Amino acid sequence: MALALAVPAAVKAELPVGARAPDFATQGALAGKVLSFRLRDALRHGPVVLYFYPKAFTQGCTLETRAFAEAHDQFAAAGATVLGLSADDLPTLQRFSTEACGSKFAVGVATPAIIRGYDAALDPRGLPPGAAARLPTGLTGRTSYVIAPGGRITFVHSDLDYRDHVRLTLQAVRALRPVRRPVR
């Protein structure tokens, strides 16, 4: 299964830039401890990078999550909160939050309603032949959103190849901050 999730594939349309991000509340984990997360509350503190990944502890998902953890200080310096979402259960996410996230940011449960709201379901049509039959149902694709404090989506990147998600979302978060020029 890890190989199938690391192969780039077409996924169905995600929410467009400019759309209002659906508010949601979910359970998740940070540093192995259970927490509640509500998008509306996080947006009060700055932009949110919301990234969906198919399955904890698979190769591509673990590498992507470690890359987000390595860039955590850069996201924090830009004022952003990072949250990873998958359809994994809470005990799995508790382990993943320490082992892959390095206890840097939270991962949460992508409920069926959240997956529908963000149009984040994995589209098996782009997967290699036979791969879709081996995958569990209810997985999310790999889609990253940057949501501005006002609740609008300002950036979307949807690609099962994990490698560009961190770089592109960090660029998008930094673009939200006004450039301060010295007064002359």
pLDDT in tens, 73-122: 999 999 999 999 999 999 999 999 999 999 999 999 999 999 999 999 98
Q: Look at residue 12 in the predicted model and tell me its pLDDT.
A: 45
144 in a domain, yes or no?
A: yes
Q: What is the DSSP letter of 162?
A: G
Q: Look at residue 122 in the predicted model and tell me its pLDDT.
A: 86
Q: Residue 95: what are its φ and ψ, rounded to 5°?
A: -65, -45
Mean pLDDT for the stretch of residues 45-61: 95
Q: Look at residue 131 in the predicted model and tell me its pLDDT.
A: 67
Domain with residue 161: its CATH number is 3.40.30.10
Of 50, 24, 65, whose CA–CA distance to 155 is shortest?
A: 50
Q: Look at residue 179 in the predicted model and tell me its pLDDT.
A: 52
Q: Which tens digits make up the pLDDT trace of 3-32?
A: 334 434 344 458 999 999 999 999 999 999
Q: Is 99 in a helix, a strand, or coil?
A: helix
117 in a domain, yes or no?
A: yes
Residue that has been written with the tokens 């996201």 in this structure: 75
So which residues are the catalytic ones? 61
Q: How many domains does the chain have?
A: 1
The residues, ordered by sequence, that sit 6+ positions from 116 with a Cβ below 8 Å of its Cβ are none
Please answer whether residues 163 and 61 qualify as being in contact, where contact means their C-beta atoms are separated by less than 8 angstroms: no
183 in a domain, yes or no?
A: no
Global pTM exceeds 0.75? yes
184 in a domain, yes or no?
A: no
Mean pLDDT for the stretch of residues 61-79: 96
15 in a domain, yes or no?
A: yes
Domain extent at residue 92: 2-176
